[in-house]
Amino acid sequence: MADMDGTLLDDSKSLSHNFWEIEEKLAEKGILFAVASGRQFYNLIEKFDKIKDRMLFLAENGTYVYYKGKEIHVNPLDRVSAHKFLNIGRAIEGVNLILCGKNSAYVESSDSKFLAEARQFYKRIKTVNDLTEVDDDILKVTICDFKGAEKNAYHHFKEFEKDYKVAVAGKIWLDMTHVTANKGTAIRKIQNDFGISFDETMVFGDFLNDMEMMQSAKHSYAMKNAHPEIIKASAFVTQFDNNNNGVMETISRLCL
């Protein structure tokens, strides 16, 4: 189970040259490969189109899980809470908002820099006049903060951490989801449904939205380039960073 950005992907958002070969060998050994990302499901399934029928997808920070053509776990955010976060976000100068639904992501802004950034992670994006009028099952509210999510926008939402999951998902990304919605919750659901134990699970992550994921596996690997808190929470650290094939090198060495 691997996070995408800063983990499985290098900084140019590319998979390693040997990813497909190693994944095929894992499949031949009966080892299930999965990605767990804050990215939209439609973005992920496009990225892995040729192996989508055997992969497991944990999208939108674990709020949406998909396997072999079926939704197997959905953990939505209620509309009232989503609207509250949208209204707070609107009042923060320089911040852009994404309302993440099951069918699409929705934005109000037409800012070209923001949209270029968002389109790296969201395949389906619709521009609307008012995010609070969107009719869709809501998975999360995402903040894009070019001033730095951890240092800026996070402080406006920190007070809600007891009742919601507030996760710094990257240098400019902050996600608000249901209090039980995170990658770790989704992984435990998968472990239970598939009969996979804690000891049989290996995970890779790099940022704060991976924290619960690190606690869901015996073989938890922080990337060499990971946030210091993720390194502290993990059992191991990869020898190489995301720009030097850290995930696939570790998997190849330990599993193949």
DSSP strands (E only) in 146-224: 164-170, 173-178, 202-205, 219-222
The C-alpha atoms of residue 19 and residue 29 are separated, in whole angstroms, by 16
Percent of the chain, pLDDT > 70? Answer: 100
Cα of 203 vs its chain's centroid, Å: 13
β partners of residue 237: 222
Look at strands 202-205 and 34-36 and give their pairing. Answer: unpaired
Question: What is the pTM for the complete model shown?
Answer: 0.94
In the β-sheet with 34-36, what is the strand arrangement from edge to edge? Answer: 34-36, 56-59, 64-67, 70-74
The predicted pLDDT at position 23 comes to 97
Domains of the chain: 19-74+182-255 (3.40.50.1000), 79-178 (3.30.1240.10)
- Cα 5 to Cα 21, 39, 171: the distances in Å are 20, 9, 11
CB 121 within 8 A of CB 13: no
Look at strands 56-59 and 64-67 and give their pairing. Answer: antiparallel
The predicted pLDDT at position 237 comes to 98
The predicted pLDDT at position 156 comes to 97
- Average model confidence (pLDDT) across the chain: 97
In the β-sheet with 105-107, what is the strand arrangement from edge to edge? Answer: 125-127, 105-107, 95-101, 138-145, 173-178, 164-170
The predicted pLDDT at position 208 comes to 96
DSSP 8-class letter at 92: S
The H-assigned helical ranges of the chain are: 19-28, 41-47, 79-90, 112-118, 154-157, 183-194, 211-214, 228-233, 246-255
Count other C-beta atoms under 10 Å from residue 232's C-beta.
11
34 φ/ψ angles, rounded to the nearest 5 degrees: -140, 155
The predicted pLDDT at position 32 comes to 97
The C-alpha atoms of residue 125 and residue 103 are separated, in whole angstroms, by 9
Cα angle at 243 between 239 and 245, to 5 degrees? 55
Look at strands 164-170 and 173-178 and give their pairing. Answer: antiparallel
Amino acid at 124: R
The predicted pLDDT at position 209 comes to 96
Count other C-beta atoms under 10 Å from residue 13's C-beta.
11
CB 169 within 8 A of CB 145: no
In the chain, how many H helices and how many E strands? 9, 13
**Ranges of the chain with pLDDT below 50:** none
